[in-house]
Amino acid sequence: MFVRYASAFVVLPGGFGTLDELFEALPLVQTRKIHEFPVVLIGTGHWAGLMAWIRERLQDQGFIAPDDIRLLRSTDDIDEAVELIQQCHLRQLGP
């Protein structure tokens, strides 16, 4: 239920619980069951292996569309994370 009211997901390095929450939110955004919002992974080093696996296994083998990878952004810069969230909200508001 908490995903329904989220404006963004900022995901910090973590374990199984973190991955559970991440992979619970992504399919809802992917399938447009909820409105699109940014999913920002903080800590590029921590998430690099997962991002590579998503590209090499899921995307390259056709389990997700090439455009689906855009749902995830990874950064080490908090200001960049804030900017990504703000840009998404401005797009949603429209001209």
Per-residue pLDDT tens for 44-59? 999 999 999 999 999 9
Closest alpha carbon to 89 in 24, 28, 14, 6: 6
- Model confidence, pTM: 0.86
Calculate the alpha carbon distances from 38 to 62, 71, 78 in Å.
Answer: 23, 7, 14
| Three-class DSSP category at 58 | helix
User: CA–CA separation, 92 vs 4, rounded Å?
Assistant: 16
Catalogue all structural domains in the chain, each as residue range(s) with its CATH number: 9-93 (3.40.50.450)
Per-residue pLDDT tens for 11-22? 999 999 999 999
| Three-class DSSP category at 39 | strand
